[in-house]
């Protein structure tokens, strides 16, 4: 059992192979985990009645995921695979509304078509930059400089109407993104851009010397100003949005609790997480360390996106949907803290992926990959342009969704200086609650890694592809 200074007690149990088998939350709720003979999670159950079930294809891919309250289905997600094991389709029912998608990929596993009945197609250059998006006969073209930095967005093709412009600093950070709708105007003075007229918005970003985003200011539609603070491990410990500051306390790389204003006293909310990274299970508010706490359960789809929130009566109090790239397409109610792939969306339109920030509207990360050419030749491409199959929880390397973090993965991050946790953190769930922990000096033992026998566990410990692979494919 562990306890923080505010009296939040939690205990974790593990089976003989080191997999998380149960968590007792600070409010007394218990969560149990059941695995199949291959080590894959097949059920997650709360004492209060909320359950998540998963079934798998023989090759290890996720076939179906359901979030239920007792026997009532709250959300359901059914997946199909193509002959390369990539997700070729999904049918999801959220709150009684069903929606289906189909997907097509090229030989480099990049998504080329996403269709919900109306196809949206994508084209890429040889470096992995998304060059075009076409839907209902309208093409949006994306133009880049020699450093793979987005420079312009045009409607109708490469010489069409200018509807977007981006500016980067000498270190490769995007510092400004100007966008307009049809009828708006963008001007591009030297190393700058301005937007005016219809649909004009400007996103201005300021970065600190450690490549952390310090401030983000959006003007025009949905204007907002935000600032961020980080600890010496790179974790975001405070966010000020529209003048309201939220402070965060971490358990490893997961948020343990948050406060309005500075940290002190009973938190505004406390969180309980599952065995893997970006698996939020519960959000507790009120008297968060007692049975009287108000409990909400997070519901996730097969990619790990938080698509709903349910109360202890089994009512779906909020839901949201995303397209293939993480743009929110619909929502009802408020789903706090977590969104696409289980990460943290900001009011600026960016999503926080720890080492970097992602902009789903342009399907790009806002700064270079600190790891180099791990996923793509382009240092800004998101998950090698395969967002329906892959996730990037650390902002450093793409992984198959649902892949447990193996010892090799944590060791790779530790050697590169990006992982700063302890073996307690790797277990998942609630751990030591201590901020600013020292980075690993050795690789955690395999027994401390959740779900170590999953057939996908070693699938992506190497880069997705190298320049040699591209040369062999004829892409270069």
Highest mean pLDDT among 113-117, 418-422, 471-475: 113-117
Contacts 24+ apart (CB under 8 A), 27-34: 27/284, 27/288, 27/289, 27/290, 27/291, 27/292, 27/293, 27/295, 28/291, 29/272, 29/282, 29/295, 31/272, 31/274, 31/281, 31/282, 33/274, 33/275
The pLDDT tens digits for 187-236 are 999 899 999 999 999 999 999 999 999 999 999 999 999 999 999 999 99
Q: How confident is the model at residue 8 (pLDDT cuts 50, 70, 90)?
A: confident
Residue 97 has pLDDT above 50, yes or no: yes
Task: Give the pLDDT confidence score for residue 423 in this predicted structure.
Answer: 30
- Nearest Cα neighbor of 77 from 344, 319, 365 is 319
Dist. CA 247–CA 12, nearest whole Å = 26
Mean pLDDT on 259-264 = 96
CA distances, 290 to each of 9, 25, 26 (Å): 9, 10, 7
Q: How confident is the model at residue 10 (pLDDT cuts 50, 70, 90)?
A: confident
- Does pTM top 0.85 for this prediction? yes
Dist. CA 91–CA 72, nearest whole Å = 18
Instruction: Please answer whether residues 82 and 93 qualify as being in contact, where contact means their C-beta atoms are separated by less than 8 angstroms.
Output: no
Residues 6+ apart with CB under 8 A from 137: none
Task: Give the pLDDT confidence score for residue 126 in this predicted structure.
Answer: 96
Instruction: Please answer whether residues 290 and 270 qualify as being in contact, where contact means their C-beta atoms are separated by less than 8 angstroms.
Output: no
Task: Give the pLDDT confidence score for residue 414 in this predicted structure.
Answer: 59
Q: Which of 60-64, 117-121, 216-220 is the least confident region? A: 60-64
Instruction: Please answer whether residues 365 and 355 qualify as being in contact, where contact means their C-beta atoms are separated by less than 8 angstroms.
Output: no
Task: Give the pLDDT confidence score for residue 400 in this predicted structure.
Answer: 87
Domain edges within the chain? 2-473
The pLDDT tens digits for 412-470 are 565 555 555 433 332 232 222 222 322 222 323 333 333 322 323 333 333 333 333 33
């Amino acid at each position: 059992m562990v306890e923080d200074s505010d009296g939040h007690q939690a205990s974790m149990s593990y089976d003989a192979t080191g997999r998380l088998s149960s968590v007792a939350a600070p409010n007394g709720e218990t969560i149990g985990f059941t695995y199949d003979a291959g080590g894959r999670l097949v059920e997650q159950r709360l004492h209060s009645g909320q359950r998540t079930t998963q079934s798998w294809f023989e090759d290890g891919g996720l076939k179906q995921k359901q979030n239920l309250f007792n026997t009532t289905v709250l959300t359901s997600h059914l997946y199909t695979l193509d002959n390369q094991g990539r997700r070729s389709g999904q049918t999801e029912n959220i709150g009684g509304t069903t929606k289906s998608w189909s997907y097509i990929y090229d030989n480099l596993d990049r998504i080329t078509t996403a269709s919900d009945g109306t196809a949206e197609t994508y084209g890429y250059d040889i470096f992995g930059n998304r060059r075009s998006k076409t839907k209902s006969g309208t093409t949006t073209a994306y133009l880049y400089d020699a450093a793979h930095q987005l420079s312009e967005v045009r409607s109708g093709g490469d010489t069409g109407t200018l509807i977007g412009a981006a500016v980067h600093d000498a270190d490769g950070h995007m510092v400004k993104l100007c966008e307009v709708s049809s009828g708006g105007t963008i001007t591009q003075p030297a190393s700058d851009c301005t937007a005016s007229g219809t649909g004009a918005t400007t996103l201005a970003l300021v970065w600190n010397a450690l490549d952390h985003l310090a401030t983000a200011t959006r003007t025009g539609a949905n204007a907002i100003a935000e600032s961020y603070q980080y600890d010496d491990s790179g974790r975001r410990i405070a966010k000020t949005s529209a003048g309201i500051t939220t402070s965060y306390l971490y358990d490893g790389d997961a948020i343990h609790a948050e406060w309005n204003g500075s940290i002190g006293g009973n938190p505004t909310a406390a969180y309980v997480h599952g065995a893997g990274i970006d698996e939020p299970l519960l959000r507790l508010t009120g008297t968060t360390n007692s049975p009287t706490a108000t409990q909400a359960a997070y519901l996730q789809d097969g990619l790990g996106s938080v698509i709903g929130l349910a109360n202890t009566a089994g009512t779906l109090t909020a839901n949201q949907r995303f397209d293939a790239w993480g743009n929110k397409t619909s929502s009802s109610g408020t789903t706090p803290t977590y969104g696409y792939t289980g990460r943290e969306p900001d009011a600026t339109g960016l999503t926080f992926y720890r080492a970097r920030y992602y902009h789903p509207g342009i399907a790009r990360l806002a700064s270079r990959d600190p790891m180099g050419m791990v996923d793509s030749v382009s240092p800004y491409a998101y998950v090698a342009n395969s967002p329906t199959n892959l996730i990037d929880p650390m902002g450093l390397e793409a992984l198959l969704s649902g892949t447990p973090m193996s010892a090799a993965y944590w060791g790779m991050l530790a050697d590169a200086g990006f992982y700063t946790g302890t073996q307690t953190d790797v277990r998942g769930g609630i751990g030591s609650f201590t901020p600013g922990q020292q980075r690993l000096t050795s690789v955690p033992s395999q027994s401390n890694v959740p779900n170590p026998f999953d057939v996908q566990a070693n699938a992506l410990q190497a880069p997705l592809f190298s320049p040699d692979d591209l040369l062999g494919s004829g892409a270069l």
